[in-house]
Structure 1
Amino acid sequence: MEVAKKVVVVAGGASGMGRATARTLAGQGAVVAVLDLPSSAGADVAAELGGGATFHPCDVTDAEGVETALAEAVEAHGALHVAVNTAGGGVSRRIISKDGPMPLAEFRRLVELNLVATFNLDRLQAWHMSRNEPDEGGERGVIVNTSSIAAFEGQIGQVAYSAAKAGIAGMSLTMARDLGSLGIRVMTVAPSLFATGALEGASEDVIATLTKDAAFPKRAGLPDEYAWLVEAVVRNPMLNGQTIRLDGGQRFAPR
């Protein structure tokens, strides 16, 4: 799918990989709608992007709020062709600690934030895309989700996060099969450690320790590198139903 003149929704687009993706796709002529928390820099990002970009505040764990935000984005721009979902996060907590077993509510919270919220975005985004007229290749839309290499080799303390991110990766093929008859593709990117969030201001020594197991380059990934892969996914119609690791050959050690 060509990027120019397409409507792109980026959930989590106010910072990090989402912001870089919004900037990259807007630079290729897309019209971007940023979804992020009301307290985020989403309005500033939309203003910086220009080209009619808009900001629609919502919390991805609020199902009704997400539905409203997406409907407002489609109303503002007339359609939805590309959806990129980067919202999520996690904390480290062992199953058993000196305080006892991990609270079940904590596991549920992380699965809700990462897996359930992603699926909710996907189902609503796919619905809007299904209303598009197909292009000359029969394509109506592209959905790109964000997993993590923790889905495949989660570290100690990442059981909830790994389970949620593995679920996102596991949805790709089935969702692509579900939506294939509508001309909607589904892909997932599984990044390693990227220079976003708390890691953005980490020292070189900390980064070197965390990335020592990478093949090359031995550094944190850059948000733009995520964005470049998303652009390639959107442009290449044969990329569908799979998860691409974006990790410089890194495999997480147990800790």
Structure 2
Amino acid sequence: MDIKGVAALVVGGASGLGAATARALARAGAKVSVLDFNIELAQAVAAEIGGFAAQCNVTSSDSAEAAVAAARQAHGAARILVNTAGIAPAAKIVGKNGPMPLDEFRKGIEVNLVGTFNTLRLAAADMMKLDPLADGERGVIVNTASVAGYEGQIGQASYASSKGGVIALTIQAAREFAASGIRVCTIAPGLFETPMMAGLPENVRASLAVTVPFPQRLGRAEEYAKQALNIVESVYLNGETIRLDAALRMAAR
């Protein structure tokens, strides 16, 4: 897809991987709407790139519908959706204080998996109404999973399950939307410099970096954004989950 002039939604675009992707899409000429629960940060990113911002709670159908509608009003129906909103809850299934509270498990599923599905369904419905472009393409959706969806570590039950669900959703949605010319791919990042990672002590971050085979460092948000744009531009890339992890395979703990 030629990105120039196309409307794009970046969910979770106020920081980290999403903000980097919003900036990259804007540089490529897209009309970018930044959707995020943190409206102040979303507005700051939107002002920087000349885009639009809307508050969006991905776990709420009403909130997501209102945010997508506001973005549609600002830029027209989006042909590009990038889902980056997520949380990383950490708890053992059975810890020192007994079994994990069910609501703690449910929260990760709600934000990471249900939230991804929520915005995917809304954006796809809009894309189906658009005229096809070259190759019959109407739109492209890029979701965010994690290597934890393949190799969940101890204490990542909710996170790994939610990201595994996003991986499973990828081929299913790609098959369902194929008749409408809508592609669906997912990026599964390894260890990346994100706001969640930035909250860890420097020695912990350094110890994580040395576990990465090559290059032996944490991934950069701009590298995620570059991969997202490559998916958007590569029409034959569909139904795939791409590991972006520098050959990392997560240990048990």
Q: State the TM bucket, normalised to the shorter chain.
A: over 0.9
Matches within 5 A, 1:108-187: 108-187=106-185
Q: What SS is found at the alignment partner of 2:134?
A: coil
What amino acid maps onto 2:48 in structure 1? E
1:60 Cα deviation (Å)? Answer: 1.1
Structure 1: 4+ residue segments shifted above 6 A: none
1:213 Cα deviation (Å)? Answer: 2.5
What amino acid maps onto 1:155 in structure 2? Q
How many positions carry a matched residue from both structures? 253
The 10-residue stretch of structure 1 (5-14 or 58-67) with the greater mean CA deviation from structure 2: 58-67
Equivalent residue number for residue 27 of structure 2: 27
Q: What SS is found at the alignment partner of 1:241?
A: coil
Structure 1: state its 5+ residue gaps: none
Q: What SS is found at the alignment partner of 1:199?
A: helix
Q: How many angstroms apart in 2 are the aligned matches of 1:159 and 1:110?
A: 9
Matches within 5 A, 1:18-57: 18-50=18-50, 53-57=51-55
% of aligned pairs identical?
Answer: 47
Equivalent residue number for residue 189 of structure 1: 187
Residue deviations 1:35-62 (CA, integer Å, cap 9, x gap):
0014541111111001xx1001121112
Matches within 5 A, 1:236-247: 236-247=234-245
> With structure 1 as the length reference, what TM-score do the two structures score?
0.96
Q: How many angstroms apart in 2 are the aligned matches of 1:31 and 1:105?
A: 38
The 10-residue stretch of structure 1 (102-111 or 179-188) with the greater mean CA deviation from structure 2: 102-111
Equivalent residue number for residue 104 of structure 1: 102
Asked if the contact 2:39/2:54 (under 8 Å) is kept, the reply is: no
Asked if the contact 1:14/1:35 (under 8 Å) is kept, the reply is: yes
What amino acid maps onto 2:164 in structure 1? A
Asked if the contact 1:63/1:117 (under 8 Å) is kept, the reply is: no
RMSD: 1.2
The 10-residue stretch of structure 1 (185-194 or 90-99) with the greater mean CA deviation from structure 2: 90-99
Asked if the contact 2:14/2:38 (under 8 Å) is kept, the reply is: no
> With structure 2 as the length reference, what TM-score do the two structures score?
0.97
What amino acid maps onto 1:24 in structure 2? A
Equivalent residue number for residue 223 of structure 2: 225
Asked if the contact 2:90/2:156 (under 8 Å) is kept, the reply is: yes
Q: Give the 3 Å change call, closer, same or farther, for CA 40–253 of structure 1 in structure 2.
A: farther
